[in-house]
């Protein structure tokens, strides 16, 4: 809802308000973004300049309140007295945009450039500012509690205008903040780094051509000392998959300026007379009470206003993916055998990953080609998909359409379609990118991918992309527009296809890609202890319905860590569950455990994927439909553990709940040489008998079962004792390093007769 009172605009979300005013100099002042207040409160938020700041450059001679450098703004004019981070650069020319008009528009104003955008029925405030040779349009809308804004600049003069920086948003927030960014690389995504925002700029930027795992476009600004449940926290993101930029800087007056948009590095856009440039949408949310509430607001926004409407609230299938189990080494027979195993375990979707086309037997050849490799798949994709469908599973397929190997029929036919820069080609994973700024390249991809999708019953696509760009320079933005065009042409007419985007794992985990496909492969790193960081930090800004989360083999390929199967499952449950391993190597007891895991997940899938997620000390919880699922994760076990506590949040203190554990079985091998002390004969822990027993026999671990109030659960429930080196007991937790426990907390129907 939008209120306009005199020169004040109030945009209201459910619990949030954005207050802006047009000041007497025609600049758009930012008054407040935070708790819900009224337009009538605007007065309370005005920053008064009094007798000024001494050396101020003034917009009006003698008027000490007219210093733009000290104003809290929602946009600013570079070169005209505001020396803080600027939102645009017109090739060195100053800008002097002043308010001209505004309108309230029903719903979202469609993008003209083909960029993806938030959808929903929120009203939009459209403010127009003008200067002699240009118009600036600022769009603001609040979806739920999330502010979405963008800027459009139009050349109204009669000579070309060059843009070298054009941000989506600028905001000046009173107060001191710390900025948390999420940085990393391949198999090391989303490592949080927090620095105080002071007078020098703190920058979060990607220049790889893509949003990148180096610096996710999402970040936080928090009051010092903010926690999960206390303190003022702002979250920011960008609906964009290319080079991004955000900078935060604190002014002498105590205003923290934040700009967000496309990275200005290499950015160069010439606007002919009459032409306009449209920025991606910037996203911003606020929580007055810590990170948990911020995440809840962001999650609801992504689930309701970003992901394609077909997938809103729609449960995602449990999938099996061939990659980690087979890599390039498979054939029809082997895949069908795997699919039989996967179906028998409860998987609902079989995904054939890389290697099904061209001469693709390793990563050196074949990218760019689409002919099915008949040596591996003599019955084609259709034959394979039909057999998989007959097992009761859907069929999904991997593509990497943006890339080309030099050893491919496509490259031999069209070497000029690859992105090069006039120097010797720089390969990455033996591949180049295709030039998606060329319409003929986009047509080739769309035609071929659509032909494959229509050749067989394919209901899922993993869209991979495995290199950073070079050579894009000023065309980086045009490439991303090309990518969005391709995705829209392929998937908009096929909304039922579940698109999971991937880029060497989480190298393109962003809101732009999520507008086309509702989930993203978080990381090639499936080690569950590593995933606690990756998924845990993603969860600050993205909902768990967007996480591709798979159980893989142990010891893990990237860490060599041997993590119990229960923990691999318990971590992957908080996302879209999949399995990715050679199922033929599973022990019978592991199969049984996986079957139980999948059945458990299906029972609570809607809650795991769409419930209210909260991070706890040493664990995660998710709530919905009267059920809370809480997992406690252990990293290192210590001798003589004290009394453990499970403390939940967000429950109703007066409601009665039933708490139980999922229950897990302990392998005999985990007791090592201790077994000989309880066996009648002296058994060698490395001998045949105990090795066989480890494969066949399991012992029950402790199970908790209680009926209690929400108040008690939020105060903290004492857990069963832990293993203390004094023997095995069914009524204790005998978790080893990296063990975990899943608790199910269900509302009791107090009206039911007992």
> Which residues make up the interface to ligand DGJ (CB under 6 A)?
323, 353-354, 398, 464, 466, 502, 504-505, 521, 524
- Cα distances (Å, whole numbers) of residue 592 to 81, 86, 399, 452, 567: 70, 59, 32, 36, 15
**What CA–CA distance (Å, rounded) separates 468 from 427?**
10
To ligand DGJ, the closest distance from the beta carbon of 197 in angstroms equals 34
To ligand DGJ, the closest distance from the beta carbon of 524 in angstroms equals 5
To ligand DGJ, the closest distance from the beta carbon of 580 in angstroms equals 8
**What CA–CA distance (Å, rounded) separates 375 from 35?**
63
Q: Which is nearer to ligand DGJ, 397 or 502 (CB)?
A: 502
**In degrees rounded to 5, what are phi and psi of residue 390?**
-65, -20
To ligand DGJ, the closest distance from the beta carbon of 379 in angstroms equals 23
Q: Which is nearer to ligand DGJ, 168 or 525 (CB)?
A: 525
Q: Which two tokens stand for residue 586?
A: 């599973």
To ligand DGJ, the closest distance from the beta carbon of 43 in angstroms equals 54
Asked about 464 being catalytic, the answer comes back as yes
**What CA–CA distance (Å, rounded) separates 128 from 102?**
6
Choose among 677, 616, 638, 646: nearest CA to 744.
646
Q: Which is nearer to ligand DGJ, 354 or 369 (CB)?
A: 354
To ligand DGJ, the closest distance from the beta carbon of 464 in angstroms equals 5
Strands 134-143 and 146-155: antiparallel
Q: Which is nearer to ligand DGJ, 77 or 431 (CB)?
A: 431
* Residue of 82, 353, 464, 527 with catalytic role: 464
User: Taking CB positions, which residue lies at the least distance from ligand DGJ?
Assistant: 354
The answer to whether the bond into 555 is cis (omega within 30° of 0) is: yes
**What CA–CA distance (Å, rounded) separates 209 from 565?**
38
Tell me the residue length of the chain: 754
Q: Which is nearer to ligand DGJ, 330 or 633 (CB)?
A: 330
For the residues of 716-735, what is the DSSP string, one character each?
A: -EEPPPBP-SS---TTSB--
Alpha helices of 371-432 — where are they, by DSSP H? 380-390, 409-413
To ligand DGJ, the closest distance from the beta carbon of 353 in angstroms equals 5
* Residue of 353, 369, 510, 524 with catalytic role: 524
**In degrees rounded to 5, what are phi and psi of residue 593?**
-65, -40
Residue 609: how many other CB atoms lie within 10 Å = 28
Q: Which is nearer to ligand DGJ, 178 or 464 (CB)?
A: 464
Task: Name 28's bridge partners.
Answer: 22
Element containing residue 607 per DSSP (H, E):
helix 588-610
Q: Which two tokens stand for residue 15?
A: 């619990």
To ligand DGJ, the closest distance from the beta carbon of 465 in angstroms equals 9
**What CA–CA distance (Å, rounded) separates 274 from 277?**
10
Choose among 269, 247, 268, 245: nearest CA to 257.
247
Q: Which is nearer to ligand DGJ, 189 or 435 (CB)?
A: 189
**What CA–CA distance (Å, rounded) separates 571 from 744?**
15
Q: Which is nearer to ligand DGJ, 301 or 323 (CB)?
A: 323
> Is 254 in contact with 70 (CB distance < 8 Å)?
no
Q: Which is nearer to ligand DGJ, 181 or 321 (CB)?
A: 321
Asked about 652 being catalytic, the answer comes back as no
Per-residue b or e along 471-500, where b marks 16 or more CB atoms closer than 10 Å to that residue's CB: bbeebbbbbbbbbbbbbebbbeeeeebbbb
To ligand DGJ, the closest distance from the beta carbon of 504 in angstroms equals 5
542 alpha carbon, distance to own chain's centre = 4
**What CA–CA distance (Å, rounded) separates 490 from 88?**
34
Element containing residue 624 per DSSP (H, E):
strand 619-624
**What CA–CA distance (Å, rounded) separates 8 from 68?**
18
Q: Which is nearer to ligand DGJ, 325 or 569 (CB)?
A: 325
**What CA–CA distance (Å, rounded) separates 347 from 576?**
12
Catalytic residues: 464, 524
């Amino acid at each position: 809802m939008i209120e306009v009172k005199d020169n004040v605009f109030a945009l209201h979300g459910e619990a949030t308000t954005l207050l802006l005013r047009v000041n007497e100099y025609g600049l758009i002042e930012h008054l407040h973004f935070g708790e819900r207040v009224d337009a009538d409160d605007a007065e309370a938020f005005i920053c008064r300049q009094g007798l000024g700041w001494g050396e101020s450059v003034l917009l009006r001679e003698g008027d000490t309140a007219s210093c733009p450098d000290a104003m809290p703004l929602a946009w600013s004019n570079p070169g005209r007295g505001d020396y803080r981070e600027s939102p645009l650069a017109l090739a060195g020319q100053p800008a002097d945009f002043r308010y001209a008009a505004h309108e309230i528009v029903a719903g979202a104003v469609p993008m003209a450039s083909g960029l993806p955008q938030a959808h929903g029925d929120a009203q939009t405030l459209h403010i127009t500012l003008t200067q002699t040779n240009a118009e600036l349009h600022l769009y603001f809308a609040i979806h739920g509690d999330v502010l979405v804004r963008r800027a459009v600049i139009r050349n109204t003069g009669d000579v070309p205008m060059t843009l070298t920086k054009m941000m989506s948003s600028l905001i000046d927030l009173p107060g001191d903040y710390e900025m948390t960014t999420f940085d990393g690389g391949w198999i090391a995504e989303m490592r949080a780094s927090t620095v105080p925002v002071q007078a020098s700029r703190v920058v979060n930027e990607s220049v790889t051509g893509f949003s990148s795992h180096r610096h996710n476009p999402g970040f936080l600004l928090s009051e010092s000392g903010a926690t999960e449940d206390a303190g003022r926290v702002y979250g920011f993101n960008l609906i964009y998959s290319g080079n991004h930029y955000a900078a935060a800087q604190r002014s002498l007056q105590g205003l923290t300026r934040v700009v967000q948009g496309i990275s200005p590095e290499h950015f160069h856009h010439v606007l002919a007379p009459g032409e306009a440039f449209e920025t991606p949408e910037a996203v911003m949310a606020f929580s007055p009470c810590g990170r948990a509430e911020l995440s809840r607001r962001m999650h609801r926004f992504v689930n309701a206003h970003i992901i394609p409407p077909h997938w809103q609230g729609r449960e995602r299938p449990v999938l099996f993916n061939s990659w980690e189990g087979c890599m390039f080494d498979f054939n029809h027979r082997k895949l069908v055998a795997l699919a039989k195993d996967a179906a028998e375990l409860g998987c609902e979707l079989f995904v054939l990953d890389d290697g099904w086309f061209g001469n693709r037997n390793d990563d050196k050849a074949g990218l760019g080609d689409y002919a099915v490799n008949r040596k591996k798949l003599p019955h084609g994709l259709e034959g394979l998909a039909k057999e998989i469908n007959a097992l009761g599973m859907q069929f999904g397929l991997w593509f990497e359409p943006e890339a080309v190997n030099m050893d491919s029929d496509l490259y031999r036919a069209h070497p000029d379609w690859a992105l090069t820069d006039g120097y010797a080609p720089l390969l990455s994973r033996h591949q180049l990118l295709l030039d998606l700024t060329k319409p003929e390249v986009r047509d080739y991809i769309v035609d071929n991918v659509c032909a494959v999708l229509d050749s067989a019953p394919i209901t899922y696509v993993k869209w991979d992309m495995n290199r950073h760009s070079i050579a894009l320079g000023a065309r980086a933005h045009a490439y991303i527009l090309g990518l969005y065009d391709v995705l829209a042409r392929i998937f908009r007419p096929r909304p039922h296809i579940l698109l999971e985007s991937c880029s060497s794992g989480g190298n393109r985990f962003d809101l732009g890609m999520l507008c086309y496909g509702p989930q993203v492969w978080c990381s090639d790193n499936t080690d569950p202890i590593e995933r606690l960081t990756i998924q845990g930090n993603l969860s600050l800004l993205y909902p768990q319905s967007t996480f591709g989360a798979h159980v893989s083999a142990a010891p893990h390929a990237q860490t060599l860590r041997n993590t119990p199967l229960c923990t691999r499952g318990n971590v992957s449950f908080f996302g879209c569950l999949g399995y990715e391993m050679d199922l033929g190597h599973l022990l019978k007891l592991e199969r049984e455990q996986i079957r139980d895991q999948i059945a458990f997940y299906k029972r609570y899938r809607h809650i795991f994927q769409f419930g209210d997620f909260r991070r706890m000390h040493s664990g995660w919880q998710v709530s919905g439909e009267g059920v809370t699922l809480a997992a406690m994760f252990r990293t290192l076990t210590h001798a003589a553990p004290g009394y453990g506590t499970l403390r939940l949040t967000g429950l109703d203190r007066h409601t009665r709940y039933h708490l139980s554990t999922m229950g897990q079985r302990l392998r005999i091998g985990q007791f090592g040489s201790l077994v000989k002390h309880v066996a009648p004969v002296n058994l060698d822990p490395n001998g045949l008998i105990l090795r066989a027993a480890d494969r066949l026999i399991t012992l029950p671990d402790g199970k908790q079962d209680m009926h209690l109030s929400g108040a008690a659960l939020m105060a903290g429930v004492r857990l069963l004792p832990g293993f203390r080196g004094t023997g095995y007991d069914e009524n204790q937790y005998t978790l080893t390093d990296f063990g975990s426990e899943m608790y199910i907390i269900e509302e009791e129907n107090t009206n039911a007769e007992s």
